[in-house]
Amino acid sequence: AALISLENVDKRYESTNGSGTDALTNISFSVASGEFVTVVGPSGCGKTTLIRLVGGLESPTSGAVRVDGRTVSGPSPNRAMVFQEHRLFPWLTVRENIAFGLVEAGVPERTRTERTDELLELVGLVEYSDMYPTALSGGMKQRVGLARALAVDPDILLMDEPFGSVDAQTRRTLQGELLDIWRETGKTVLFVTHDVEEAVRLGDRLLVMQNNPGRIRNSLDVDIARP
Ligand code: ADP
Ligand code: ADP
């Protein structure tokens, strides 16, 4: 059964002068539990809009966005988002950034510390736990962003070009780490990128989008050995 499903989704951004932008047109697809689906397409084709719809940060102009059979009506900790610009809190340490969602959820301190320790281990940042984000490289910041997203144990990870601003070598490393984490945790991942190579390396299935208006042109099962 589908965990995420979009049915004939249109998204139009209206502007005050009466014109507007059709960001997405007639998008339909579904993602099964545990699948890793990548969406690839040129800048401006609507990838961020797509992720924000599933995340509950935008609503469709028409059509349905459902998770677990229920219409998405807003953000939920069960659908964690990871952004290109990581959006870490600069006034919190690595450990505190990772624990942020657990504090919000009212998880007791002892459990919080245990969980945060596990995550620091998982993303290889144990030695950096008391540093502030400004002291970290771009790749490390993305690892913190990923650990923070995983902290609340979401079923779904929604990733918007998370490795778009790191150098090619670091990107490769992070891609491998993400696949390891995915295999280990069984999360469902929806990952958007403009990088075709990245989309093919990571996804079980690849949805190809076109620009103007944003539509899905192709859906391919990726059958290439992953790293
Ligand atoms: P991508 O992530 O593929 O670059 P976006 O989803 O950011 O695509 O944008 C799709 C289209 O919608 C673009 O034409 C963009 O300019 C437009 N758009 C995105 N967000 C907004 C917004 N908040 N208001 C108006 N237009 C927007
Ligand atoms: P990306 O290409 O990394 O997906 P963009 O640079 O297109 O992101 O957009 C960054 C932010 O600006 C997004 O939140 C998007 O919704 C918003 N945005 C994009 N295009 C427009 C636009 N034409 N008008 C208003 N907001 C926009």
- Residue 205: pLDDT band (50, 70, 90) is very high
pTM: 0.89
CA distances from 132 to 91, 138, 148, 197 (A): 7, 13, 14, 32
Tokens representing 151 are: 């902290």
Number of neighbouring beta carbons within 10 Å of residue 143: 27
Return the amino acid letter for 164. G
Q: In whole numbers, what is the pLDDT of the chain averaged over residues? A: 93
pLDDT digits (tens, 9 = 90+) for 133-171: 999 999 999 999 999 999 999 999 999 999 998 999 999
Residue 224's pLDDT is what? 66
- Location of structure tokens 């984000």: 133
Residue 226's pLDDT is what? 65
45 touches ligand 1 (CB under 6 Å): yes
pLDDT digits (tens, 9 = 90+) for 118-131: 999 999 999 999 99
pLDDT at 227 over 70: no
pLDDT at 71 over 80: yes
193 touches ligand 2 (CB under 6 Å): no
210 touches ligand 1 (CB under 6 Å): no
Question: In the chain, pLDDT over 90 holds for what percent of residues?
Answer: 86
Q: How far is the CA of 48 from the centre of ligand 2 (A)?
A: 8
pLDDT digits (tens, 9 = 90+) for 28-57: 999 999 999 999 999 999 999 999 999 999
Residue 99's pLDDT is what? 97
181: exposed, middle or buried (Cβ count in 10 Å: 0-12, 13-18, 19+): middle
**C-alpha to C-alpha distance for 6 and 60, rounded to whole angstroms:** 10
84 touches ligand 1 (CB under 6 Å): no
Q: Which residue has the least CA distance to atom 2 on ligand 2?
A: 43
Residue 108's pLDDT is what? 97
Q: Across residues 200-218, what is the average pLDDT?
A: 91
pLDDT digits (tens, 9 = 90+) for 82-118: 998 888 999 999 999 999 999 999 999 999 999 999 9
pLDDT at 218 over 90: no
Residues in the chain, total: 227
- Residue 8: pLDDT band (50, 70, 90) is very high
What ligand has the least distance to the C-alpha of 39?
1
Nearest partner of 192 among 21, 28, 41, 64, judged by Cα: 41
Nearest partner of 3 among 26, 52, 37, judged by Cα: 37
Q: How far is the CA of 159 from the centre of ligand 2 (A)?
A: 15
Q: Which residue has the least CA distance to atom 9 on ligand 2?
A: 48
